[in-house]
Each structure stands twice: as C-alpha cells, then as structure tokens.
A and B are shown apart, each in its own frame.
Chain A
Amino acid sequence: GAVVSQHPSWVICKSGTSVKIECRSLDFQATTMFWYRQFPKQSLMLMATSNEGSKATYEQGVEKDKFLINHASLTLSTLTVTSAHPEDSSFYICSARDLQGTDTEAFFGQGTRLTVV
C-alpha cells in the first residue's frame, strides 16, 4: 500500500512553546489529509480535514487557532500545536487519501507522540 510518513515520531516540548508535526505522502498525491488525536486506551478522534490549497475544516470542539493546519502541497500537510500545554500531550496521527484516484482505503502515518512538560 501507499506510504504516509510523519515526522517527528516523538517530541517533548516545554509548556508555552509551539510544535510542528509533518505528514507526507511518499508515493501518491494526497488531495485530502486528516489529523487525529488519540489518548491512551482510547480511539482515534478526528480533529480536522485538510484539503490541498484551501483552509482546513475543523471538527466541533477543536480550536483552529491552537491547532494550525497547513496543506500547501499535494504531498505535505503540517499540524502546529501552538502554545502547547500538558493537556495537549497525546498521540497525533495523520492519514491521507487520494480522492481523485482509485485507492479504496485511507493510509495512516506512524503517529507522533507529543509530550508537553
């Protein structure tokens, strides 16, 4: 299957700082990317849908000014957690789909473990 790569795999940052997470589709053009957050022993929670060249669509309850999403190219989307606090510590996962292609499933990155201290 297609490959989606996230970077970094883990990051520790101080409270109040910002952290950027990258999501790249390595062998296909991702017209749409999704960002999820997952807390321990819980399911994935969709945060936002990112469409190339347009503003992201955020799910209810997700602060768009805190979680900045940029999808500037067909192979890269970034999630920036601004002014991070300990409660933002979580596992962040992206997925990508080529809605103009023939792929039938969403491809997921390996996830990024964010710890805010």
Chain B
Amino acid sequence: LAKTTQPISMDSYEGQEVNITCSHNNIATNDYITWYQQFPSQGPRFIIQGYKTKVTNEVASLFIPADRKSSTLSLPRVSLSDTAVYYCLVGDKGGGFKTIFGAGTRLFVKA
C-alpha cells in the first residue's frame, strides 16, 4: 500500500477555501485516491475519490496532477462545522482493501 504524507494541522477562517495536499510518491497504477473526514468520537465519513485530473462533488473537489504523486483536497468556503481530521488514502477503490489510515490533517476553522 502506498504511503501518504499530509500536513499534521491547518488553520483557516470561515468562508475561506482550504486546500489540503497529500503526497503519495509510490502510488501504483491501479490505485485510487480517497479522502475521508472524521469528527471527534465519530467514524470516518467518505468525502471524495478520484483517479486522475479533477473530481468534484457537492462537498469538495479533488485535484490530481498527471504524475499522480500528489493530490489536493479543496474545500470551498469552509464553515466552523468543517473542523475535523481529514485523511488521504491510496489504494484500490475504497482506499485499499484494508483501508489503512495515515496520520491525517487536523483542520481547525476559526470564526
């Protein structure tokens, strides 16, 4: 399973766009990139998944460059409720058969 590296923490203000970048230099050809969000004392929640270029849903956008060695989760106009830990996973569809989690990025949104 490809290892991922993310910033440990990020701060932002309400209404701003937040971009969280994840490095995955050893990503395999068949690997997808999946992002999860976790609030305290809750299970992770799927945000978005992509293979290449750009993917957008009602919650976020995922940008993947051509070499796929990194990816950027973009959260538009964050609110206080977006304060959470965000995990980037690389593997087969679903973040890998075992869905191994890295350290994640703790996002803190301020008023």
Tell me the A residues contacting B by CB distance below 8 Å.
1, 4, 6, 32, 34, 36, 43-46, 49, 91, 93-95, 97, 99, 103-111, 113
Contact = CB atoms under 8 A, between A and B. Distances in A.
A109 B41 CA distance: 11
B46 A111 contact: no
B34 interface: yes
A53 to B, nearest CB: 18
A105 B34 contact: yes
Interface in B36-63: 36, 41-46, 49
Given A97-B94, A103-B94, A105-B95, A43 B45 contact: no
Contact of A111 (B34, B42, B97, B101): B42
Nearest to A109: B43
A97 B49 CA distance: 15
A92 B41 CA distance: 10
A91 B94 contact: no
- State which size class the interface on B falls in: 20 to 34
7 contacts: A43-B102, A44-B101, A91-B41, A99-B97, A103-B94, A108-B44, A110-B42
Given A43-B104, A46-B98, A95-B99, 5 more contacts: A34-B98, A91-B41, A97-B94, A104-B32, A111-B41
A105 B101 contact: no
Nearest to B102: A43
Nearest to A2: B46
A95 B96 CA distance: 13
A14 B94 CA distance: 37
Which 10 A-B residue pairings sit nearest by Cβ, starting from the closest? A108-B43, A104-B93, A105-B46, A44-B101, A43-B101, A106-B94, A106-B99, A93-B43, A111-B43, A108-B44
Contact of B99 (A1, A34, A111): A34
B103 A43 contact: yes
Nearest to A102: B93
A43 B36 CA distance: 12
B93 A105 contact: yes
A44 B102 CA distance: 8
Contacts of B46: 1, 105-107
